[in-house]
Chains A and B, each alone.
Chain A
């Protein structure tokens, strides 16, 4: 029998036949009822077919690649646990970065999974829907693999035992939680602008990557393996972020000002949240990767600059207040560490005064600001601690109505004056920490007045009781173990014992 000559299909064509062709315009039910949420934000889409698929993965290939990655990852996680991998990290202080990650970032992966599931149903175009669904299930992967990788640390260190409970309640965790709640409660296009573009594309090298590089530098094989394994997922997510922006901008010029406003908003909201990462990089890693300032210069000023130069042809400008954020890169990690040093009795991780060489490193990395403003404070606090007067601040701070960070940031041109802004709305006064947060509030006050501000809630009696220990119990903290100064903590004592035992052996 003569072999039939078959047409060969290109990837794009095959993908289109197997995927894009699946959708149809409903007629028994109106399209606007089947897809009720994709047009109220004012984004105008003329042709959903204009969507360029950012990655053309069919499910067979998806299952193949992902299952292979999972197999390898779990083999490493198993071996890490079997061989007490936690003994190989640089120092137990490092684990505090993991605590911050598991309580502050992993729950965001779950929120991302649910958010992408939502938009994966709600867009009327098949292309964006499939891309979002794949990201949804990828994000589920990330939260689960993070929980599984860090499960071993939870067995040996404090502060990791109640991440979901804490994420819903603890004061500083309302910073990342409100960030994601804000994105998820926005419309589908704003959600993609905030998460896919601002978060995954513009800022990922300042969030995900520093944690993973920190893990690599500090001997944390479990987390760094997760990081490598997630890298190709992240690359896909980044291409989705760029595609959605181009899609909106190319569809109609009336979309441009809307997209610009979202970029401004989410850039600012993102940089505020990254404060936690800056602090982690400068203070929490025993072996440092680079300073927050350096990371900002490379990944935002340079890489972000190139990106926005590319988007200029659509009429898009760099995000508003980028100049202020760049000035802040000199200060915010120090100011944030100071806040947490003040309130570490109410945090599920430890703080400490950096050792002398670490202070020297900071002096070298921040020649214009560290010695002038921050080193003297740390040295003073160190002296106090050594004299038996470790300082804890018992007065609850005022929080920014938008980013929810305690109002401890200063005016960047005058780093001894706290920056305060406020707005009136329906007879009440609302406080914000910066021009960026104030702008966000003023544009949508009806949204931000709803914020569940932890300090307000404590004072209203909604958080377990009137005294700080009541609140901490409501947080499910193990008092004296999860919180307080690192020096003298159970983590530190055990770590020292393990190290002494290893030396003997």
Chain B
């Protein structure tokens, strides 16, 4: 037997908004992702040209050479709108927070080899500036992207990169007993150390890319495709041999985030490449160029941490990006 509460049932006159029903093909109940995403962005009858760039409209398909019949072909497989986004990130952050507390309380940092502690300062802490660059790039993509579906995933990613830059900064504060000296030194390294100049040049060059879709590929597929496995998998393994278990815990947020990024990004690349041979060719060109740059730029840091293993690691990272891209219909 089931429990049945009698309620006053009133037949709704329609189940969702007209533009949503049109996309669903019928007037039927829609998800919150759909109602909160589809067709939100204005598309026609703009009143004025931007005074900052008079040759474009406020929302302009020509800001990328990628062409889509419908810019809502892509849907976030995570179905993230603001509410689900903040709840998902808070959950990840709660776990991260408990790792920070535990490590602080049990002084796990002190259990790391002193050499390894020093090494973390030179490879991980300057990465917070890379994350800040990734924040700027995703913010730029969100600004220029056409349609709410892509613009919002990029905005979420931008905020996430600020969050990860802050997590890395907190690792620095753990290592330097809250003096901030390690962060100051990391900035000097980022600006001056030979190890980092290839990366910084690549990041600064990406800041001035015109085509937002190229920027999205460069940052999220290519640079991140190198950084996430390299820093949070290979460097972590190297650290475990030197008492670096604490870092395995602190890397969790970034590891989870990297998996999450792949979910939306691979789907976006897949539908974009599937749209036309021209799109696929553009994506392939961009992916090849920026994967090459990213692998080259991070190689000195890989050598600094992994020594002789670096070459093998970098080639398997490159192979992994190529494999992933191929799955999305992109030949590198």
Contacts and interface: CB of A to CB of B under 8 A. Distances in A.
Interface residues on B, range: 35 or more
B151 A26 contact: no
A373 interface: no
A395 interface: no
B17 A162 contact: yes
A8 interface: yes
Contacts, number: 248
Contacts of A502: 8
A137 B82 contact: yes
Interface in A189-216: none
Contacts of B86: 62-63, 66-67, 70
A164 B40 contact: yes
A18 B170 contact: yes
A182 B58 CA distance: 10
Contact of B89 (A21, A63, A162, A457): A63
B97 A147 contact: no
Contact of B32 (A117, A148, A156, A448): A148
B68 interface: no
Contacts of A225: none
B19 A114 contact: no
A143 interface: yes
Nearest to B162: A59
A103 to B, nearest CB: 11
A494 B190 CA distance: 67
Interface string B110-153: 10000000000000000011011001100110110000100110
Nearest to A167: B42
A121 B160 CA distance: 15
Contacts of A476: 18
A58 interface: yes
A63 B90 contact: yes
A59 B177 CA distance: 21
Contacts of A141: 82-83
Interface in B82-108: 82-83, 86-87, 89-90, 93-94, 96-97, 107
B259 interface: no
A181 B180 contact: no
B51 A185 contact: yes
B43 interface: yes
B315 interface: no
A133 B162 contact: yes
A184 interface: yes
B190 to A, nearest CB: 7
Contact of A185 (B48, B107, B208): B48
Interface stretch (A32-40, A296-304, A350-358, A405-413): A32-40
Contact of B143 (A26, A34, A121, A161): A121
Contacts of B52: 36-37, 40, 185, 187-188
Nearest to A451: B47
- In the complex, which of the residues A13, A36, A181 has the most CB atoms of chain B within 10 Å of its own CB atom? A181
A178 interface: yes
B169 A21 contact: yes
A37 B179 CA distance: 36
Contacts of B83: 67, 70, 73-74, 141, 144-145, 148
B71 interface: no
A28 B293 CA distance: 15
B41 A181 contact: no
Contacts of B170: 18
A84 interface: yes
Contacts of A130: 162
B18 to A, nearest CB: 4
Interface stretch (B198-206, B240-248, B274-282): B198-206
Interface in A93-148: 107, 110-111, 113-114, 117-118, 120-121, 130, 133-134, 136-137, 140-141, 143-145, 147-148
What are the 9 tightest A-B residue pairs by CB atom distance, in nearest-first order? A59-B163, A155-B12, A67-B90, A144-B36, A22-B132, A67-B86, A181-B47, A28-B204, A70-B83
Given A136-B155, A144-B81, 17 more contacts: A7-B178, A21-B187, A22-B129, A22-B165, A33-B208, A37-B52, A40-B51, A60-B96, A60-B97, A117-B143, A117-B151, A148-B32, A157-B13, A161-B17, A162-B17, A164-B19, A185-B52
Interface of A: 1, 3-4, 6-9, 13, 17-19, 21-24, 26-29, 33-34, 36-37, 40, 58-60, 62-64, 66-68, 70-71, 73-74, 83-84, 87, 107, 110-111, 113-114, 117-118, 120-121, 130, 133-134, 136-137, 140-141, 143-145, 147-148, 151, 154-158, 160-165, 167-169, 174, 177-178, 181-182, 184-188, 447-448, 450-452, 457, 476, 494, 498, 502, 505
17 contacts: A3-B107, A7-B178, A17-B180, A22-B129, A22-B131, A63-B93, A70-B86, A114-B59, A117-B139, A120-B139, A121-B143, A133-B139, A144-B36, A160-B17, A169-B44, A181-B46, A184-B58
